[in-house]
Structure 1
Amino acid sequence: MTRTDGTNRLASWLRKDVVSGSILIAGAVIALIWANSPLEPAYEAIRTFSFGPESLHLHLSVEAWAADGLLAIFFFIVGNELKQEFVNGELRNPRRAMLPIIAALCGMVVPALIYAVINMSRGAEALHGWGIPMATDIAFAVAILAVIGRYLPPALRTFLLTLAIVDDLGAIIVIAIFYTADLAFLPLFGAFALLAVFGYLQRGRGIAAALDRSALPNWVVYVPLAFAIWALMHASGVHATIAGVAMGMLMRTRKLPGEEHDPSHRAEHLLRPWSSAIALPIFSLMSAGVVFDGLGSLFTDTVALGVIAGLVGGKFVGIFGGSWITTKITSAELNPSLKWIDIAGMSLLAGIGFTVSLLISELSFAANPVELAHAKGGVLIASLIATVLAAAVLGSRSRHYRKLGLAPVRTDTAGGSID
């Protein structure tokens, strides 16, 4: 076997969700053990080490580069995959696309209300954390689904991706409005302007043909443009991963005459192994290291209890209940390959709140270290409970579909045919 063959085999292996999911989970477990061990000072030293150009406001910690920078690659892939579904796949049907979108909105409102009710008697400071249980961590949720649900219908993964993207967009809007003191509009408008350029380059037939004919590879144009969009989005105060989602959704999914593959599938095929091997594991290793300190007091604090109840119970009630009611009062419909028990398991899985939930915790209780620790602990405990419950339900459903003779779901890049 040649070196090229070995590289291609490794890349194909890394394109599978079950592989990237396992690596992501392993990184989180290592981070938790490391952060709660005698080697915790070394972990903090690495995580807080800062580098980057100060003049561009990009002198960031390793943790920030992982969560804002590397994770944008993963979000690009997710946005790109959703674009393919909206154009050529499951979400072409508006009646089916409507369901996860409404479910996401309900899955944001109900957890926030549950948190607010539990903390109503605590005053404004505790209530400030109402946004913490709103967010579903798409990276971990998709990873868990890949590991435990190989035989589940593909439509369930699409439902989860759509729901989680809408959920994250909603959470970013909440952060921008309620948790950001100074949103910088000039960089934000600059990011939007360059996104328009990015979209035009995708669709301009003459430009696409000129790039293909030129001696320069396409990445010479698109990589600097993508970095500029990301940097401007970061400078605006909006979570920079939104730049990844936006660029993914702008990718062209149809081939032009003379093209062997469209840019959407080419980009996904190229970037997915890098996301699995570098972006996601470094992100989980740098983000998951939460120190558990004082577990006894955590379970008596309404902040932690509100976060746990919101993520575990609120997400389930909001998503499952919102989906079921929507199908009864609107024209929205559930994919025929899915059963309501599948949606129930996926609703439990959506209770995994990690990156954005921890971010909102930091913004909510920056001046109160005790409540901050309790909020972060609540996020981790809720995520663990949600994972266990979802694994029980979805694992059982996966075994059920396997007995019915369904083939395991392909989770490599669309078709896996680009070499």
Structure 2
Amino acid sequence: MSEAAMSPVGANPFTVRTALMLVLFGCVVFVALLWMIGNGLADGDANNGGAHAEGRGLNGFAALADLVERRGATVRRSRSKAAFDGPGLLVLTPAVHAKARDIEEAIGRHRHLGPTLLVLPKWLAFPVPAQVAAAGKAKPGWVMVAGGQSPEWADELASLGSLDVRIEQRSADDRGWRWNGLGRSGRLPAKAPEQSLSSGAIAALVRDARGQTLAGYLDDGSAPPRLSGRACEAEAPAYPLLVVAEPDLLDNYALADRDRALLALELIARARDGGDEPVTFDLTLAGLERKANLLTLAFTPPFLAATLCLLLAAATTGWRAFLRFGPPLAPSRSIAFGKRALVSNAAALIVRSRRLHLLGGPYAEAARQRLARAFALPRTGDAAAEAAALDRAARAAGRGDHAFSQAAARLGQARSERELVKAAADLHALERTLTR
């Protein structure tokens, strides 16, 4: 491999920009995942064939929510009971199996904050068979109906009393029940049962041809003049509560007809009393409540402060990860160059063989030869004469008598690694003193 193709030792395979982009991408994806979980986007499609503002079957109210929104109102579809404590019109579409105490809670919490519109369920609906949907004959959320059923909780609401709700079915060739009210009139969907109520506490707004109440309001003095038609002599104790017994005045089945669509808009407008506050469609009473989880609690006071501190600490840690704590460490070569490799390999061999005590004599002999060359002593080969001459040089340098001979003897007699290193250091110091 050529040197040009080799990366320098210790080089980072990723540039700082590439690493930063990868980290930022991971952070964005992670935050998006948290946002999806916190907002319930992982809960699945709410268009499940139910009678609520996300339902697109004939019994749903998605068309009403869309129509009101297109008319300029702010529309919210809430899956949390916190919407009960918000301003504006609250539209309740409880399921047949809803509990009366849950409906009472919604009405009680909201009546002092804004008007409430309660729509009673009627249809017994079932999802379209899978083979029909697979054949392209039905869209997502479409349902099949099997008649009607009045909710049992309609007579268990303490704030309304017994509504005395009933369902009547006409013959198969019927063109639909007629209705009139709020200055309008029309027909209910053909071949559909009619649901009405008979309660003295409910003042009628829309009636059928027989005078039965299809939609009305609680006549407790809370209705504004635009709704009740009477002058308001004193401040109302609460906001109005409207009750629609016949859902085919407001649901997707209803809005297929222009007259019923205009009636639905008129009911919404009179309930809002000309205000511009939002219209909230509740989904919790239809079985689509989103429970609070640890993620949503983390972004809710008082836990929000701790979450922000953790995010700040994580950001600081991530920033510090891109800053070096010193120069990069280059890995050492497994085999060193030249003399260094020879010395390292020889030392490793001696250590493995456990023959350190054999180094003292050769090291002392090498030191004697170096000093002999440094002092230009005659090359007679007489080690004793050279040692005596070096002892005289050491005495002249103030190192005492026989300094060299004694240091060389200690080095030759050393056996342990500690003794060997100390004796070699003493001899090396003497050598530096004599050659200085």
Query: Which of the five TM-score ranges fits, normalised by the shorter chain?
Result: under 0.3
Higher percent of residues as helix: 1
TM-score (norm 1): 0.19
TM-score (norm 2): 0.19
RCO greater where, 1 or 2, for CA within 8 Å and sep 6 or more?
1
Higher percent of residues as strand: 2
* Bigger radius of gyration among the two: 2
